[in-house]
Structure 1
């Protein structure tokens, strides 16, 4: 049995290139990306923000004002005046705000890419957990069958008074434990399937299998970090925020320039009238005070924040990579040691031939089962660490 466990594990390490005959993991993640309600909602939010940003760069509405003054001691007739005017900021402000809106659109796109990555990483980790549980279920089902065979044999020996009630009870408890282990795994599988259904927008996911084909290496530490710097959405979002804050400085500098108003004015009384063009400029004394300084201070903060977060991410990356390296080393040692063993099968045969008592057999069996379980657990942890290291590739 141990041979079957090891052979199943040896073909299953790292970046998933095929998750089943019908659907590989990339296809499953693509399906989740298309159906995920959180991502759909975030796309609508981004669209609303982009429209709102563009609307902030519109001209103010034209203004029509008028006067009709029939009252008072006037000998020349009623006085009438109306004026149609259009006010606007200095033309360079609109160009600067347009560039600022473009930078904010890039920031929103990076934020969506980061959200998308979080959702897909959660989905990938869930799929890896599910594959691990399905393999573990196969192992436990075989152990359950073997425990039942042992119990049946002990029952026959007990019936012929060759063993006592204590051995019978121990064999029965061992069988019950294996039954519980299978049932517990089945429950955990259903929980993970429910989580995947939620991630997939309430749709069932089919085509999931334990057939993973995963290469071992993830690349050298420094080259992997450089790749992450170029492609990681969180780092790109930080750069986009920094660019947006710089464009905000340029916008505030342009807004120091005066606003302009142009229009047409008509004034008339008793058949006589005057008409012509209207023009005006604002005097930028109060409205723009300290806004440029505030924008510059925010830009300096964003530069510092980008550096701090990048340094923190690199530290986390190093910790994850070091854990991965250590885990991979230990996994290879386990694989080398246990690769050609058939300890559980040999123990079972020896027990059936009467070479071991039940207690001796059970103690020896637990040792090898624990080692096999540890190896399977290490495989899962390696896959999860690798998924974290290659998160930027999602």
Structure 2
């Protein structure tokens, strides 16, 4: 009886503080999750880094003081102020690359957030399953304790055998262990949610699954998922980045220009004028255009790979959903119309079945109901994965 008391107290206490909405929990985790926060900060830093190097290099100032020899030969002084420029189109291409890289950040942040929130939603679904299981196990424990008590009284009167007593005791121990293990799992998954929530405690006591949306046909759903897939958008954005980098590598292969001012003082004479220079692009950027062309091809292959992989991933989830739904509906109809436990209790009380038959049938019913709860959980987990793009 103490197991029921502990479990009931646990659920009564936590109900007052529990967040009973998956949406509210996901909103909290999106705000508090340390991985999401650190990833946002990382990409903010990258955003700033992408803007580095868009301006020309710093100007260079040189001064030379050259005493003459022999004595009396005088001195020579030279002053150079020089600014180097890439070919003008290079600055346009650099900024375009940076803009495309910054645009990609949003897709990466969305993809990371969706991964975290899907994990959190799966934990919530697992907890709904465990909470429902806890209610069922409490009923079984109450029934097992009642049965054990009745057989103890019968045994004392000589109306039950030691075999009956042993079976009743084993049934009680088995259910007590299941209650204890389930309670432990509930605690563990609440701790996992708390971890995802950045350490702010979450105790989730919901026993009702979220409403299931109407699943459209596969082609419609697959197109919707692909249209909203941040990973695919990130791959397409990478393709744009590589295209711009290829254009930039061509611009960087053009001559660099150098301009500035020079003054020279020699033997009491002063010379002033401009400094002009140009680089001859012979080998400094050799193979850079070829490399960027290969990178562009690689990004195209990545898109093809992702499209193929994602298509079959969605297809497998969709087919799994269809299979689970058929079995789930059958289970749901079966258990909504029958109450085998009450029928078995009544038959045992009237002497219509033996204690051995009772325990066999009861365990069979329990196993079937456990399979139903497990299947119901898997059904909702698959739906959560299919609708990950909405997180």
Question: With structure 1 as the length reference, what TM-score do the two structures score?
Answer: 0.91
Verify the 8 A CA contact 2:18 2:203 in the aligned structure 1.
Answer: no
The answer for the alignment partner of 1:170 in structure 2 is: 167
Relative to structure 2, which stretch is displaced further, 203-212 or 332-341?
Answer: 203-212
For residues 201 and 349 of structure 1, the distance between their equivalents in structure 2, rounded to whole angstroms, comes to: 51
Relative to structure 2, which stretch is displaced further, 133-142 or 307-316?
Answer: 307-316
Greater RCO between the two (CA within 8 Å, min separation 6)? Answer: 1
The answer for the alignment partner of 1:217 in structure 2 is: 214
Relative to structure 2, which stretch is displaced further, 138-147 or 288-297?
Answer: 288-297
Residue 310 (structure 1) shift: 0.9
The answer for the alignment partner of 1:11 in structure 2 is: none
Relative to structure 2, which stretch is displaced further, 100-109 or 71-80?
Answer: 71-80
Is 2:253 aligned against 1:259?
Answer: no
The answer for the alignment partner of 1:246 in structure 2 is: 243
The answer for the alignment partner of 1:156 in structure 2 is: 153
Which of 376, 380, 385 is the matching residue for 2:382?
385
Is 2:103 aligned against 1:113?
Answer: no
SS in structure 2 at match of 1:55: coil
For residues 125 and 367 of structure 1, the distance between their equivalents in structure 2, rounded to whole angstroms, comes to: 28
Is 2:302 aligned against 1:295?
Answer: no
Residue 149 (structure 1) shift: 0.5
The answer for the alignment partner of 2:333 in structure 1 is: 336
Unpaired stretches in structure 2, ≥5 consecutive residues: 1-16
SS in structure 1 at match of 2:247: helix
For residues 71 and 230 of structure 2, the distance between their equivalents in structure 1, rounded to whole angstroms, comes to: 73
Unpaired stretches in structure 1, ≥5 consecutive residues: 1-19
For residues 51 and 65 of structure 1, the distance between their equivalents in structure 2, rounded to whole angstroms, comes to: 31
Verify the 8 A CA contact 2:226 2:232 in the aligned structure 1.
Answer: yes
The answer for the alignment partner of 1:62 in structure 2 is: 59
For residues 287 and 41 of structure 2, the distance between their equivalents in structure 1, rounded to whole angstroms, comes to: 35
For residues 33 and 140 of structure 2, the distance between their equivalents in structure 1, rounded to whole angstroms, comes to: 38
The answer for the alignment partner of 1:51 in structure 2 is: 48
Verify the 8 A CA contact 1:76 1:269 in the aligned structure 2.
Answer: no
Verify the 8 A CA contact 2:19 2:25 in the aligned structure 1.
Answer: no
Residue 215 (structure 1) shift: 2.3
Residue 76 (structure 1) shift: 6.2
Residue 208 (structure 1) shift: 4.3
Residue 211 (structure 1) shift: 2.9
Residue 363 (structure 1) shift: 1.4
The answer for the alignment partner of 2:306 in structure 1 is: 309
- For residues 2-81 of structure 1, the aligned pairs below 5 Å read 23-73=20-70, 77-81=74-78
For residues 306 and 314 of structure 1, the distance between their equivalents in structure 2, rounded to whole angstroms, comes to: 12
RMSD: 1.7
Verify the 8 A CA contact 2:127 2:204 in the aligned structure 1.
Answer: no
Is 2:83 aligned against 1:86?
Answer: yes
For residues 176 and 233 of structure 2, the distance between their equivalents in structure 1, rounded to whole angstroms, comes to: 50
Q: 1:70 to 1:199 in 2, by over 3 A?
A: same
